[in-house]
Structure 1
Amino acid sequence: MKNVDKYARGYFMPPEASLKWTQKEYITEAPTWCSVDLRDGNQALIVPMNLEEKLEYFKMLVEIGFKEIEVGFPAASETEFTFLRTLIEQNLIPEDVTIQVLTQSREHIIRKTFESLKGARKAVVHLYNSTSVAQREQVFRKSKEEIVNIAVTGAKLLKVCASETEGNFQFQYSPESFTGTEIDFALNICNQVLDVWQPTAENPVIINLPATVSMSMPHVYASQIEYMSDHLNYRENVILSLHPHNDRGTGVADAELGMLAGAQRVEGTLFGNGERTGNVDIVTLALNMYSHGVDPKLNFENLPTILSVYERLTKMRVSERHPYGGELVFTAFSGSHQDAIAKGMKWREEKEPQHWSVPYLLIDPLDIGRQYEGDIIRINSQSGKGGIGYILQQKYGLDLPQKMREHFGYCVKNVSDHQQKELLPDEIYDIFNREYVNLNTPIELVKYRINDEDDFETIAVVRTDDGVQEITGTGSGRLDSISNALQAYLGLEYSDLSYKEHALEIGSKSQAVSYIGITASDSSVYWGCGIDVDIMTSSIKALFSAVNQMSRSVNKNN
């Protein structure tokens, strides 16, 4: 691209190596989660939520398990102010939930913010001002000293207002646009704010380091976080927080590596909604931890319902391929994937292992409210015998022989390819019945009688276009005798009867199902299926179905 030279790396590395985080394998415990859906998420909507919608969303966040929820910027609009007052005055905030409000470091905004918080049981007041080189030079046109003064002045005013306002308050400071700020300057401004607030074990301060614009690869952000964690004053009384955005598509990775680097808290939104490319996706971040066997301390056991409420209230749509929440994230269309999943599920059923390890499925869909049926394996022209067979077995109780699965798989793929669409389970079942089950043309079984006193002899009454006929055959067994009768009557030759039977346990428990494959002289294999309350009759119907398949093919070729 011809304009590549106009871009330069606008981030800053720590002044010393900060790589201890690289020695850690995975995140061992959940951070403190703070949902900013009602602030960052809401301000990014084309049509922001109204009061009733925000109240419903707040209730959902509480039910999920968030203990800290940023409810807005109350000095920014009457709706945000009213929402906060409604939560406080109607006692809608559970005792174990802390609300958070955002304020710029400007006197009238800070005072309006504390006015909105009167009577709050507990609230985090989140103070911020921009510190990056670009913001200092282009927006504020102020020196470093002047930027520090904005932060320190605001920090002092927070202390004054908190002492004058009914409520219980905790302070938080963000050097906004941290990722574009020189690291030593970011450290200096945070430490000067901390010197004003003097955090204690009983009243710790939150220092939030936002990737307001994601500017680097995740490992750089992690090193920045580690350096800050190692050099902040009052570190034992500081809660180090992250607020990653997703400009480079690395918001989740930034947060994960940032936690390895010492962060104890994460601000984000459900499904990553936020300005531009969005905030860090808490659903993905939390369930990534869950996939490693670490309790995220948030409840996503009914994720489809959460997603439905989210989409209804925000008017946003979660992509089909969005991690965990997307409609298709557990779905395999590929034949090889379907076969591996089907075999993995069967292995799990047989072995009952302690840990989840099904191929291609990171977590068990059931754990987050998804279903095996309709969610895991779906059929189109790319699908294979394993997936198609899995659907027939799981939904309809039909356990096809392996070679018949392959035969039917090509049949289904041809239909999907011709119609250029996904085939639903009922459509697949209809194709199976139409192509294989109890076929009665060109020859139909009317009734039969087997004499097995000496040699096996079958006398059957059949119907063809020529009318009703009686045919007779003998053989080494019941099925062999009627097979010989059919070959003689129809003038067909085939061999190698492949046979399988089982009870049909799904749908009609009293029925039996049989499968038969026959091999013609040209090595073509024809399959049939018979279903009946009598196992012998189901076997004979399966044979008739296979023979009818063969007869149709012979007549077509002639």
Structure 2
Amino acid sequence: MPKYVPFQPLSLPDRTWPNQTIRHAPVWCSVDLRDGNQALINPMGPAKKMELFKTLLRIGFKEIEVGFPAASETDFSFLRELIEQQLIPDDVTIQVLTQARPQLIERTFEAIAGAKNAIVHLYNSTSTLQRRVVFRADKAEITKLAVDGATRIHELASQVSDGRVRYQYSPESFTGTEIDFSVEICDAVCNVWQPTIENKTIINLPSTVELATPNVYADQIELFCRLFKFRDRAIISLHTHNDRGTGVAASELALLAGADRVEGTLFGNGERTGNLDIVTMALNLTTQGIDSGLDFSNIKEVRRVAEFCTELKVHERTPYAGDLVFTAFSGSHQDAIKKGYDAMKESGQEQFEVPYLTIDPADIGRQYDPIIRVNSQSGKGGVAYLVENELGFRLPRRLQVAFSQVVQQATDSTGQEMPAREVGKKFLETYVSPPAELVYRSHKPLECDLEDQEMFQFSIEYQGVAHEVVGQGNGPLDALVHALTEKFGLAYDIQDYQEHAMEAGSGSSAAAYILLKTPEGTELYGVGQHRSLTKASILGLVAAINRCLGLSRDATSKR
């Protein structure tokens, strides 16, 4: 007999959920303070519970499971503090968990006394495996346990006069339970509670252990909804775990199958591999144009609180919230992201369309700056993006290619990422302020006899000696090239010239990009920046010449 037996899926050939579309958000219930808390190495104390509770309120949760007060004095005291200090908003419902035992149910009602809105969440395990090896009980005995618990809850709720008590029942380990028995036991519980259209019962169908692919869970939910006789008087709730790594997918498919409500935790904290990650599922809806009803506009603060309270780190690759999820190292990715942002900026469109990004990082409080980072895998697009963001230079394509090679050589030598600040510094020292044999001081125009020519006098220093040189050409750059060729034999040809304003406004600086060709055929860029476009151009030319001189110096030293 094989060690592992494959899960036997349902036969549901007329399933309808694959043709459905999620069009609105479910009812959300956070179980961070109960299910999440019981999964921690160091469970939260009162102060951390309170900070997390207030954070859940700010996010916008209207249903929050605050604990298992009958099983924990810490949970009981915390719940009493919330109620007695009137810390629960009128539009928020607290939820408390209890097993189907009379003494625990009674203690639970003591805990919620005075609450304006409360959900009493009754559960007992129903799976074939647990019936056989844990409880050693048959279906009738398991059903009686649930019905007795439901009866006692109904009796105590009828005595509550200072608040509204709603009911929730979970056949724990629903995914490992026969569908007909799940329906049978939920029908039996609802026969006691007698839900109405106005006062629906919550039937929570948990994937306590993820046993199969998410489509199987969706089939189970759809078939249950078909067979459950109280469907129109019930809210079908989901509570998925992540044993197979598909908790979010299972919940999304189960919504297609007819569910109304979702329980989960921030960032998926929970037993074993965790619960459904509500942050991921809610923001998945956001990317589809659906208002999730939850506010994750400051995801970094939500993450900070969750990490502080749980003492668990949010992984760098966690969707939406991880440090690296909006970061591209690959050159092709970086190039596409940069072009996407440029296209949106140029067109002025509001619809977010950037390759490789499903959501605008700004919508969840992230910044554009860290989206593109540079290491040895990076390409020209990412490098150009960082230079523009850090310094305002919009590099010509050939300069993007050239500088990406400079950066790659540097990162290859260290094996480390190059931070954006260092990328900017590297650009400036390579193209704007390279080691200088030639220094430009000033220039002035002179009278020229030729109509199509201009003449200029340039004050410069070359190899530490001051000079006044005169040259003529079709502009100051051409004139300076001719002057340096005649005076020092620096025979370089200008191959390309581009310019742009660094920022909007009449007082902005200008940037000029000069590509020079040496007599040996090597092409090198220089970049100038100045409030005067003419001076920016001259500075760019001088920077390019200094790079050419440096190249000659290096070649001589190697010989």
Please give the alpha-carbon distance, in whole angstroms, between the structure 2 residues aligned to 1:112 and 1:314: 27
Aligned partner of residue 515 in structure 2, secondary structure: strand
Aligned partner of residue 252 in structure 1, secondary structure: helix
What is residue 94 of structure 1 aligned with on the other side? 89
Q: Report Cα offsets for 1:368-396 as digits up to 9, x if no partner.
A: 111112x2111112111111111221232
What is residue 276 of structure 2 aligned with on the other side? 280
Change (3 A) 1:464 1:235: same
What is residue 428 of structure 2 aligned with on the other side? 433
| AA aligned opposite 1:100 | Q
Matches within 5 A, 1:138-287: 138-166=133-161, 167-287=163-283
Moved more, 146-155 or 13-22: 13-22
Task: Measure how far apart 1:524 and its partner are.
Answer: 1.8
1:463 paired residue among 461, 464, 469: 461
Note if 1:9 corresponds to 2:10: no
Percent of aligned pairs sharing the same letter: 49
2:63 paired residue among 54, 57, 68: 68
Please give the alpha-carbon distance, in whole angstroms, between the structure 1 residues aligned to 2:13 and 2:418: 56
| AA aligned opposite 2:454 | F
The answer as to whether partners of 1:85 and 1:116 remain within 8 angstroms in 2 is: yes
Task: Measure how far apart 1:473 and its partner are.
Answer: 2.3
Please give the alpha-carbon distance, in whole angstroms, between the structure 2 residues aligned to 1:14 and 1:204: 28
In structure 1, runs of 5+ residues without a counterpart are: none
The answer as to whether partners of 1:462 and 1:469 remain within 8 angstroms in 2 is: yes
Note if 1:378 corresponds to 2:373: yes
| AA aligned opposite 1:224 | Q
Aligned partner of residue 293 in structure 1, secondary structure: coil
Aligned partner of residue 6 in structure 1, secondary structure: coil
Note if 1:41 corresponds to 2:28: no
Task: Measure how far apart 1:505 and its partner are.
Answer: 2.6
Aligned partner of residue 463 in structure 1, secondary structure: strand
Task: Measure how far apart 1:510 and its partner are.
Answer: 4.4
What is residue 331 of structure 1 aligned with on the other side? 327
Task: Measure how far apart 1:179 and its partner are.
Answer: 0.7
Aligned partner of residue 371 in structure 2, secondary structure: coil
Please give the alpha-carbon distance, in whole angstroms, between the structure 2 residues aligned to 1:17 and 1:225: 14
Query: Normalising by structure 2, what TM-score?
Result: 0.95
Please give the alpha-carbon distance, in whole angstroms, between the structure 2 residues aligned to 1:496 and 1:129: 82
Please give the alpha-carbon distance, in whole angstroms, between the structure 1 residues aligned to 2:198 and 2:532: 77
Q: Report Cα offsets for 1:327-364 as digits up to 9, x if no partner.
A: 11111111111111111101001112242111111011
Q: Report Cα offsets for 1:32-60 as digits up to 9, x if no partner.
A: 00000000111111111111211111111
What is residue 84 of structure 1 aligned with on the other side? 79
Please give the alpha-carbon distance, in whole angstroms, between the structure 2 residues aligned to 1:537 and 1:359: 38
Task: Measure how far apart 1:449 and its partner are.
Answer: 2.7
Please give the alpha-carbon distance, in whole angstroms, between the structure 2 residues aligned to 1:328 and 1:291: 19
| AA aligned opposite 2:231 | R
Change (3 A) 1:414 1:128: same
2:479 paired residue among 477, 481, 486: 481
Please give the alpha-carbon distance, in whole angstroms, between the structure 2 residues aligned to 1:297 and 1:149: 39
Please give the alpha-carbon distance, in whole angstroms, between the structure 1 residues aligned to 2:463 and 2:385: 38
| AA aligned opposite 1:239 | I
1:309 paired residue among 291, 305, 312: 305
The answer as to whether partners of 1:33 and 1:68 remain within 8 angstroms in 2 is: yes
The answer as to whether partners of 1:32 and 1:265 remain within 8 angstroms in 2 is: yes
Aligned partner of residue 246 in structure 1, secondary structure: coil
Query: Normalising by structure 1, what TM-score?
Result: 0.95
Please give the alpha-carbon distance, in whole angstroms, between the structure 1 residues aligned to 2:490 and 2:53: 73
Please give the alpha-carbon distance, in whole angstroms, between the structure 2 residues aligned to 1:146 and 1:347: 66
Note if 1:296 corresponds to 2:292: yes
| Number of aligned residue pairs | 552
What is residue 361 of structure 1 aligned with on the other side? 357
Please give the alpha-carbon distance, in whole angstroms, between the structure 1 residues aligned to 2:215 and 2:246: 10
In structure 2, runs of 5+ residues without a counterpart are: none
| AA aligned opposite 2:511 | V
What is residue 420 of structure 1 aligned with on the other side? 415
Aligned partner of residue 125 in structure 1, secondary structure: strand
The answer as to whether partners of 2:437 and 2:464 remain within 8 angstroms in 1 is: no
The answer as to whether partners of 1:194 and 1:233 remain within 8 angstroms in 2 is: no
Aligned partner of residue 326 in structure 1, secondary structure: coil
Aligned partner of residue 74 in structure 1, secondary structure: coil
The answer as to whether partners of 2:435 and 2:547 remain within 8 angstroms in 1 is: no
Matches within 5 A, 1:25-40: 26-40=21-35
| AA aligned opposite 2:4 | Y
Please give the alpha-carbon distance, in whole angstroms, between the structure 1 residues aligned to 2:464 and 2:357: 56
Q: Report Cα offsets for 1:293-352 as digits up to 9, x if no partner.
A: 011111111111111111111111101110011111111111111111111101001112
Moved more, 500-509 or 42-51: 500-509
Task: Measure how far apart 1:534 and its partner are.
Answer: 2.3
Change (3 A) 1:125 1:113: same
Q: Report Cα offsets for 1:58-116 as digits up to 9, x if no partner.
A: 11111111110000000111100001111111111111101100001111111111111
Please give the alpha-carbon distance, in whole angstroms, between the structure 2 residues aligned to 1:243 and 1:52: 27
Please give the alpha-carbon distance, in whole angstroms, between the structure 2 residues aligned to 1:68 and 1:362: 28
Task: Measure how far apart 1:229 and its partner are.
Answer: 0.9
Please give the alpha-carbon distance, in whole angstroms, between the structure 2 residues aligned to 1:370 and 1:452: 57
| AA aligned opposite 1:163 | S
Please give the alpha-carbon distance, in whole angstroms, between the structure 1 residues aligned to 2:2 and 2:505: 67
Task: Measure how far apart 1:501 and its partner are.
Answer: 1.9
Please give the alpha-carbon distance, in whole angstroms, between the structure 2 residues aligned to 1:432 and 1:296: 43
Note if 1:350 corresponds to 2:351: no
What is residue 524 of structure 1 aligned with on the other side? 522
Change (3 A) 1:304 1:466: closer
Please give the alpha-carbon distance, in whole angstroms, between the structure 2 residues aligned to 1:414 and 1:347: 30
What is residue 498 of structure 1 aligned with on the other side? 496
Aligned partner of residue 164 in structure 1, secondary structure: coil
Task: Measure how far apart 1:466 and its partner are.
Answer: 6.0
